[in-house]
Amino acid sequence: TIAVTGTHGKTTTTALIGLILKTAGRDPSVIVGGWVKALGGNACLGKGPEMVIEADESDSSFLKFSPDIAVITNIEEEHMDHFRNLEDIQAAFRGFINRLTPGGEWFGCSEDLRVLGLANERIRNSTLYGFNPASSLVSASDIMECPNLKRAVAFKAWSRGSRLGTIEMKIIGRHNVLNSLAAIGVGLRLHIPFAVIARALGAYEGAGRRFDVKYEDPQFLIVDDYAHHPTEIQKTLAAAKALHKKRIVALFQPHRYSRAEALLGQFGLSFSDADKLVVTDVYAAGENPLPGVTGDKVCRVIKSLGHKDAVFVERARLTEYLRSRIRPGDLVITLGAGDVGQVAGQLSDFLRNPENQHNYPCHPFESIQGKVLLNEPFYKHTSLKVGGPADYWVQPKDAEDLKKTLRICRDHHLKVYILGAGSNVLAPDEGVRGTVLALTSPYFREIRLDKGTLAARAGVPHAIFIQQAIRQGLGGAEFLIGIPGCIGGALAMNAGSHGQSIASLVQSMTVMDYSGFESVIKKEAMSFGYRSSGIRDAIILEGHFSLVSSKREAVQRKLDQYSDYRQVTQDLKYPSAGCMFKNPKESNCSSGKLIEDAGLKGRRIGNAQVSLKHANFIINLGGASSRDITDLIEEVKKTVKQKFQVTLETEVKIL
């Protein structure tokens, strides 16, 4: 018998252990306190020898079990309608451990000080799991929450100092990493191969009322969760924040008057990740009301402790209230052990009705002919593969559509970000407020021969530009091969390599200012510098280039030469933005040489790394966050400054 108990995480941990045993072909019996998709309910009767049970501590009924293996996830001051004080709670858990069968073993979370204290009493054999390998025999490292904004978590699992492998799961939150570590520990104890354990954990899709997605469309995500204790609430909202939605709207129903009274002072700090909080009436759960203990009081205490947008709404008015307050980009989450989940269902049903969609205008760009996306993440469009969502992502159809888009942005006071190929941009994990204008439609990718010059619009990729030049019998732009990006970006930053830059080729540029006025800038009026065009407050629409007549064979030889050089010297295996730093004016050394001499090659923060192949490349090893990269940039700049008194400046635009 395997019994799982603790203040939080019992259901998930029990279900995970049960699924591991099922995946291993052991056909266990499993009893869980919630509906689990993988089990087809909250229990299953198997023919194997193992039974996995969720053991309830709330009324001390877990003291009726005598398991062979036990798990204690955490111990908190909870269920004070049954226990007199914290000492009573700890005594009950101590008694639970003492009920292990001879030779039995229990697994405890080292992140919980009370569990750690019980382990130190050495009542029975114990194995600790947690984030710190110094205090845990089963541990996790390299945790990635919501990689690429997916509802997922990934981490590397370790046992007794040896790396087991990578776990990728379809549930979110660091608290679920801990639940998984408990399940891994039990699985290993039962001699189940790690590969089987990893496969089982990867297949787990969650339990009912545990970040239970009720509705999702491009505008809204509606979630129901059982969390009702301050710690559970804080961890659940922290996990939700990792999804980087525009706004988190939390609806909290306090559970039991006795619990609300006992934990009143702790609720205030639990909702810091909720942008808007709605508190409703206490769910009695059979208790009689206590004088002065109300949902309104809970709300007032939370506001007094610093929450900027908390409001009390009676239970009967909740659904109507939310219908009129939610807006596109919201993650709405109902929290509580009572009937508040019904509101998530009612709100979901309302949003599923097409007739109600007009209540939430998608965006102010209805008249735009091009493509419009809401809350579109940068990671889908940048070479670094990082970055959260922009409020609006507009791909204008043509120049007139671009003018119209700029006018709408002015009228709605929306900040504008211009994006081409996304090769020279680092967007924050939380995304940006405003509008991204992506010049990627077919119009902006047109290229033509015009009166002896090659005219290319802003969205033309460098490789296409070079290919078209070759078709016309022209050369001179070969140095652009391998530089990530498109013509608009190359002109904006005067891209170059091998001692050449695009400034030597351009004869004129067509630009549009932010009021929509177009103008042509001749070569003599340009002020190109190192990685700079001098263009300010304008959008580059097109460039006219003077190239030289060249034989295809000669151009191809040079392209092969440059491509071979890049293959040898640059890290092209992983996502990057190319060279991260400009070469400094105050040094004869390149940025890459300075970074290498500073001993920073291979330096890693999270999953961002200074390339071992080219020190001026920062690469995304997979699942890196924007924060990982910006922290690494700052460390590189600081170290180079300390060692060589040289200030590095990024080529990449950091939003």
CB-based contact 181:192 (threshold 8 Å): no
The backbone torsions φ and ψ at residue 322, rounded to the nearest 5 degrees and listed phi first, read -65, -40
Single-letter residue type at 644 = F
CATH no., domain 446-555: 3.30.465.10
d(CA 169, CA 16): 11
Checking if the pLDDT of 362 tops 90, the result is no
Is the pLDDT higher at 596 or at 77?
Answer: 596
Q: Which residue has the tokens 């609720």?
A: 267
Reading the block at residue 563, the tokens are 């491509």
Class of domain 371-442: alpha beta
Residue 83 CA to residue 81 CA, distance in Å, equals 6
pLDDT of residue 420: 84
Residues forming CATH 3.90.190.20 domain(s) in the chain: 212-359
Considering just the CA atoms, what is the radius of gyration of the chain in Å?
Answer: 30
List every span in the chain annotated with CATH 3.90.78.10: 571-654
Instruction: Look at residue 363 and tell me whether its pLDDT is greater than 80.
Output: no
Interval 557-584: pLDDT, tens: 989 988 888 888 888 889 999 899 999 9
CATH topology of domain 212-359: Protein-Tyrosine Phosphatase; Chain A (3.90.190)
Return the H-helix or E-strand segment holding 261: helix 257-262
Enzyme catalytic residues: 10-11, 54
Q: Please state, in angstroms and rounded to a whole number, the distance separating the CA atoms of residues 72 and 50.
A: 18
pLDDT at 563: 87
What residue type is assigned to position 218 of the chain? Answer: P
Look over the chain and give the mean of its residue pLDDT values, rounded to a whole number: 92
Examine the pLDDT at 423 and tell me if it is beyond 90.
Answer: no
| Rounded distance between C-alpha atoms, residue 367 and residue 404, angstroms | 8
In sequence order, the β-bridge partners of residue 169 are 153
Q: What's the confidence (pLDDT) of residue 361?
A: 62
Rounded CA gap, 519 and 541, in Å? 10
Contact (CB, 8 A) for 331 and 221: yes
> Shortest CA distance to 512 belongs to which of 590, 428, 617, 399?
399
DSSP string, 493-556: HT-EETTEEGGGTEEEEEEEETTS-EEEEEGGG---BTTB----SEEEEEEEE--EE--HHHHH
Share of the chain above pLDDT 90, in %: 71
**Prediction pTM value:** 0.58
Q: Name which of 176, 162, 178, 256 is nearest 210 in CA terms.
A: 176
* Span 11-26, average pLDDT: 97
Assess contact for 518 and 510: CB atoms under 8 A: yes
C-beta separation of 431 from 389 below 8 A: yes
Q: Supply the pLDDT for residue 202.
A: 96
pLDDT of 476 reads 87
State residue 572's pLDDT score.
Answer: 84
Q: 392 pairs with which residues across the strands?
A: 374, 435
Least confident interval from 47-51, 132-136, 222-226, 244-248: 244-248
Specify the amino acid at residue 19. Answer: L
- 531 in Cβ contact with 582 (< 8 Å): yes
Give strand pairing partners of 72: 5, 108
> Which architecture characterizes domain 2-203 according to CATH?
3-Layer(aba) Sandwich (3.40)
Question: What residue spans of 101-157 are helical by DSSP H?
Answer: 113-120
Q: What is the pLDDT of residues 164-213, one digit of tens each?
A: 999 999 999 999 999 999 999 999 999 999 999 999 999 999 888 889 99
Topology annotation, domain 571-654? 3.90.78
Say what the pLDDT of residue 357 is: 66
- Region(s) of the chain under CATH 3.30.43.10: 371-442
